[in-house]
Each structure stands twice: as structure tokens, then as C-alpha cells.
A and B are shown apart, each in its own frame.
Chain A
Amino acid sequence: MSFPWANHYEPQNPLMKWVDEKLPLPRLVYNAVGAGYPVPRNLNYMYNFGVLAGFCLVLQIVTGVILAMHYAPNALVAFGSTEHIMRNVNWGWMLRYMHANGASFFFLVLYLHIFRGFYYGSYKAPREMIWLLGVVIFLLCMATAFMGYVLPWGQMSFWGAKVITGLFGAIPLVGEPLQIWLLGGYAPDNAALNRFFSLHFLLPFVIAGVVILHIWALHIPGSTNPTGVEVKKESDTVPFHPYYTAKDGFGLGVFLILYCLFVFFMPNALGHPDNYIEANPLSTPALIVPEWYFYPFYAILRAFTFDFILTAQLWGVLAMFSAILMWFFLPWLDRSPVRSASYRPLYRIFFWVLMVDMAALFYLGGAHAEEPYIMFSQLATAYYFLHFLVIVPIVSSIERPKPLPYSITEAVLGKDDDAQLGATVAAKA
């Protein structure tokens, strides 16, 4: 579906006509990300991150497939094969740093993409399906990233795998057998490493599939925009190409500059030194932490220290999984008819409190498990759950939103002739 004024694909030459008749792939591309897709004209830079996330997925798949040509998923040689890539393979050092930092930048982009959704109410009707698929993508990315981090078989790989699979061990009754089944043993070893490699290779293609569904679902209602007012007419939109291809091209350039600064000048800044020590089941690192993009959820996991009916450990596991799973319900928790936080004064305040809270969780998840960090993470965790499950539903019921512009055109140009016409009509009636 698209807006009635969308440009129509017309093959320019006989060859393209021929292709269009047999396999209308160019037409599909034209309608999906070309001139045939009308997009609100007022998108700001926060709307760049969808395309960037797609770029990151391609980057990870390309570099990942290449690394898999040189990597050996066997506990005896995995660490050495990673070093082989770093030292002997032509450009191997660059490809590995690109892949490792690519994961970090993928998550950076995903978080900004998600926070954009929180602010502009992108999850609201009629876009619930886009949101649900997005949360699925995020979960798949987390699983993929976790398994990928195990592959170099350094100390953090090993202990990360042990701790995370240990989470499943906290589940009553089935926990321990489940953990043993997941690992194919009693601790991470060859069996676990091999299956993690297999799944780490497979899942990105599953993600790519869900991304296609995500984009498909997006094309039914079209993009949201910073006003949250739906597209009404042609002057509200511009064709995706060339307007947003140009803007995304510029955004991609800025992204790549930042990314390359990390890849080439501080490639290990986002990693952990302990992962340059080969896995040793008999020696635990002083501080076991996941990669930075898991910190908020790791902070939530560690925040529960008090046995209340259930064990603290189980509370932590439940809370950590709930922290993301509850995003699935967000479209139904936030009942405000206004999408954009720009017109929701009360929600906007809480949104920014959430951002501060997330920042705190990001910091605390990487900190040592000692006071006062644990106390702060407990407060931050409490707010996190209050925000999504209590504040969002209540605020959306009691809030009085600011008046919305009549249309996107009015929001951009300051006036919309149709709006005045509408006003006169209303006055006459």
C-alpha cells in the first residue's frame, strides 16, 4: 500500500521493461526505498537510524562471513585462530576490528532507533506490528551478539557464556537440566562453542528476514514523523529518493567517520582486556561484565539482592527478561492518542527521566558489584519498571496534550491553506 500520489514505476528502456514483466524486482525497490515511496517531509536526523541499522546488519554479515573463512570453532584452537586472523590473514586485523566494533555500533544505532520510537510514539496504532517485529529484531540481535562474543574464547567469552547460561539455571525445576542442555556439558566447552558458532552464523540471516517483515510492515502505514500527525496529502511528503537517500547518505558518512575512528584508532576501547587472555575454566576474572550494550540489563540482573518469596537470583533473571519483553506491550500500555512527545508535556519529562535512568543503568552495569553502585542500580531498576509499567499508562490517561498542527505541511511551512479552509468551513457550519 502506498499513498495515492506516490510516483509510479515506469521502466525507461526495453530491457527494464522486459525485466519488469518477468520479475518486478526493480519495481519493488522503487516502491520500497525509491521515488515511489512517499515519506513525511519533516523527518529529523533521529530518523536516520533505521537505514543505519540496516547498513550495520549488512556490514556484520559481510565481515562475519569473511571471518568465518579463517576462524576455527574448536576450544583448542579458537583463541589461536582469532590471533591468526589478527596477525597472518591479509587485512584480517581490520576485518576483525570492523566486526567487533561493528557489533557495538550496531547496538548504538539500535538503541537510538528505539529511543526515537519511545519519544515519537512510533509504536502506536497503526504501527504496532512494526514495533513488535522491531523488538523481535532487538532480541535476536542480543542473542547473536552474545554468542559472537563467546567465539574468540577469551576469558570474558568463557565466563560470559557461563554466567548467561547460568541465568537459565536459576529457573526452578527445569533450570539445571536446561542449562546443561544449552551448553551440551556442565560448563562451556567445545560443544557450546560449536553450537554458538553455528547459531551465530545462522541468526543474522533470520534477523535479515525479520528486517524485511519490519520494513514491509512499515510500508503499510508509512513512517511516523516528529509531529505524530498522519500524512494527509501530497504536500506532506517527499519521495524517499532522492530526498531521504541523500539525507541517509550524509548520515551514513557521519556514522562511518565515527565508526572508523574506533576501528582504526581505538579498536579495543569498547572491549575488555580480559578477552585477550585465553579462556581458563579455573580462573575467574576480577570483574565479569558483558559488552557495554548489555550493561543496562546486566545492571537490572544484579540489582536484586534480597530474597523476597523468590530467590534474589530468580528475581534478577525475571526482571532482566521482563525488562525487554515488556516492550512488546508498550503499544497497549500507552493509550495517549497523541504520538509525539513534543506535544505531550508530562510524558516528555518522564521520557527524559528515562534517558537519564538508562544512562545510569549503562554506567552501573559495567561497574564493580560493590556499594554504592548496587544501591544506585537498584534505584535505577525501580524507576525503569515504574516508567514503562506504571508511569506510561497513568500519564497517558491524565495528560492534557498541547494542540497539534493541522498537518505536516503546516508544521513545516508555518501555514497550510487547507487548514484555514477547514477552519472556515467549520465556522460556517
Chain B
Amino acid sequence: MIRLFAILIGLVFSGVALLSFGVGAYTFATEEHEPTAEHEFHLAPKDVAYSFDGPFGKWDKVQLQRGYKVYKEVCAACHSLKFVSFRDLADLGYSEAQVKALAAEWQVPGIDPDTGEATLRPGLPTDRFPLVYPNDVAARAANNNAIPPDLSLMTKARHDGTNYVHSLLIGYADPATYKNAEGKSLAQEFPEFSTPPGLNFNPYFANLNLAMAAPIAADGQVTYDDGTTATVDQMATDVAAFLTWTAEPKMQQRKQTGTWFILFLLFATTLAYFSYKNIWAGKKPKKGSSE
């Protein structure tokens, strides 16, 4: 009885699923499939080699310092870093005094000790990086209705985030003359594609048009303290490295700890294997499996 019911129910569910399939397949076969510009011209981020790649990767502190400078001078005008504290900058190789001086370069919200009113004061190492806009409404109002996202976790919040940040920063192009790697011209393939005023064309952005204008526009926009030539690509690479650090400051520690864990486990598991074989010796026939 139960089996009859089951067969009936099974046939109903699979029948309805197949019905959905039939209708879907019919629609799929009869419908026109227009390729979209987003599908044809969206690019996966370019691969860039970083010192922190791989299981033994380490931060390049000088690069992170350069990246911090790019963030401060370019990104920070619109993008906050709200989960990062100034004290965290010690990870970049700054001394305690340097961290204090760096923090003091920022204005953070404070309270006037006499009136209790909101005011601004220089940052302390214990403070977080300040918000750029007091709220989303203000952020939208100042940025053509687009909210500049917080960058603390940006490289973890996007697929292949480090490369994505780098590619996006160097990827701006003119849609009228843009050709992809295969030489296909966007304007010819999709004549109706347009970049609305206030948006900017960038093939690394999911729908190809983003609100942010190219933030790193020219070589030498930032003057590096270590004498590195500040090409657009160099600045994009450095700030992507810096944002990888802000997203996961413990990455290097994670990989180093992991190496010890794995080495120990390999050792212990090898012992466990021999112990297992040892205990079972004599219980198993010399050849053949357990079946």
C-alpha cells in the first residue's frame, strides 16, 4: 500500500517537474536569444602576482605603505574603511610614533568637552578610520545617487577581489572605441549600447557602466615616498594589495599557522596509519579487500 502511494506521489512530482521541463524547453527553443553586451563584453579580472599569493605568501610591507598612501590620497575622498583602526597600521611596518602621527592626520568625530556638541578631533591610534558620509542619504546626494561602498572588506566581497580591484581601476575605456581582446568592437557589435551620462564604461564591472569615474587618472597622481614610479598600474596594484590587507589583516598569520597545522597533521596521521595497520595485522587476509 505504502509503495503504491509512493509510486503515485513519485510520478506526480516527476511528472510536474517534466512538465516544467517541457514548457521551459519549448520556450527556450522558440525564443530568440539575444546576446547582451554585459554577457559578451564583461571581462574576468586580470591575474596579477602578489607577494601574499600562495600558501607561504607574506605581505610586502613597503607595497602596503604605498597602497595606504593611494587610499588616503585618492580613495578616501569618497570611500570609508570603517572596520580598520589606525592602530592596525602597525602591521604595515610603522612604529608606534608613526602610527600616532598617521592617525592624527585624520579628523574623526569627537565630543566638545565643554558643550557636548559633536565636533571633529585628530584621530588617535585606537580610533577607526572615519566615515566619509554621515549616512547613506548624504552619500547618495553627494555621488549622483550612488553610494560609494566601504572598502574594508572589498577584496573579500568580490570574486577574485584583489585582482578585481586592480582590474577595475585600470579598466576604464571609451565605449565608442572599445575593442575586446578578440578585436571585437563594442560599438559595432552592440550599436544600441550606451553609457548614460554620469556613468562610466568599464568592462570589468558587471554591467559595464559604473558610477565611479576613473579615480586613478594619470601617472604620478600620488608621489611615493620610497621612490617607486607611480604609474597608473603601479598605484592600482598597490592599493589592491592594501585593500587585501584591510580585508584580512590576519592572512599571513593564517597561512603560517596553517603550515604548522598541516605539518603536524601529516606527521600524526602517518603515525595513526601505521598504528592502524599494526593493530589490524593478522585480522586481515594478506591480499584482497574487505569485501
Asked if A and B form a direct contact in the complex, defined as CB atoms under 8 angstroms apart, the reply is yes
A interface, CB within 8 angstroms of B: 41-44, 80, 83, 86-87, 93-94, 97, 226-227, 238, 242-243, 246-247, 249-250, 252-254, 256-257, 260-261, 263-265, 267-268, 273-274, 276-278, 286, 303-306, 308, 312, 315, 318-319, 322, 326, 329, 332-333, 335, 342, 371-372, 374-375, 378-379, 381-386, 388-390, 393-394, 411-414
Interface residues of B in 268-291 (CB under 8 A from A): 268-269, 272-273, 275-276, 278-280, 283-285, 288-291
Q: In the complex the two chains form, what is the Cα distance from A342 to B280 in whole Å?
A: 24
Q: In the complex the two chains form, what is the Cα distance from A274 to B157 in whole Å?
A: 5
| Residue from A226, A256, A318, A372 within 8 A of B291 (CB atoms) | A226
With a CB–CB cut-off of 8 A, which chain B residues contact A374?
24
Q: Is chain B's binding surface mostly helix, strand, loop or mixed?
A: helix
Of the A-B pairs whose beta carbons lie under 8 Å apart in the complex, a sample of 25, sorted by A's number, is: A42-B291, A87-B83, A87-B88, A93-B248, A94-B254, A238-B283, A243-B279, A249-B272, A250-B276, A253-B273, A257-B269, A264-B259, A264-B261, A265-B255, A273-B159, A273-B161, A308-B19, A312-B20, A319-B13, A329-B6, A375-B21, A378-B18, A381-B14, A389-B10, A390-B14
Asked whether A378 and B285 contact (CB < 8 A) given A87-B250, A389-B6, the answer is no
A308/B16 in contact, CB under 8 A: yes
Asked whether A305 and B23 contact (CB < 8 A) given A268-B156, A378-B17, A382-B18, the answer is yes
CB-CB nearest in chain B for A155? B157
CB-CB nearest in chain A for B158? A273
B159/A304 in contact, CB under 8 A: no
CB-CB nearest in chain A for B8? A389
With a CB–CB cut-off of 8 A, which chain A residues contact B25?
375
B272/A250 in contact, CB under 8 A: yes
Q: In the complex the two chains form, what is the Cα distance from A326 to B255 in whole Å?
A: 44
| Residue from B2, B17, B255, B266 within 8 A of A303 (CB atoms) | B17
A304/B153 in contact, CB under 8 A: no
Task: Tell me if B55 is interfacial: C-beta within 8 Å of chain A.
Answer: yes
Task: Tell me if B257 is interfacial: C-beta within 8 Å of chain A.
Answer: yes
Asked whether A333 and B18 contact (CB < 8 A) given A86-B248, A257-B269, A386-B10, the answer is no
Q: Is chain A's binding surface mostly helix, strand, loop or mixed?
A: helix
CB-CB nearest in chain A for B267? A253
Q: On chain B, which size bracket covers the interface?
A: 35 or more
B265/A257 in contact, CB under 8 A: yes
User: Closest Cβ of chain A: how far from B132's Cβ, in Å?
Assistant: 16
Task: Tell me if B111 is interfacial: C-beta within 8 Å of chain A.
Answer: no
With a CB–CB cut-off of 8 A, which chain B residues contact A286?
206
With a CB–CB cut-off of 8 A, which chain B residues contact A43?
290
With a CB–CB cut-off of 8 A, which chain B residues contact A226?
290-291
Give a binary string over B233-272; 1 marks a CB under 8 Å from any A CB, 0 the rest: 0000000000000011110011101110110011011001
Q: In the complex the two chains form, what is the Cα distance from A277 to B25 in whole Å?
A: 36
Q: In the complex the two chains form, what is the Cα distance from A114 to B23 in whole Å?
A: 34
Interface centre among B158, B266, B268, B272 (most CB of A within 10 A): B272
Task: Tell me if B48 is interfacial: C-beta within 8 Å of chain A.
Answer: no
Task: Tell me if B217 is interfacial: C-beta within 8 Å of chain A.
Answer: no
With a CB–CB cut-off of 8 A, which chain B residues contact A326?
6, 9
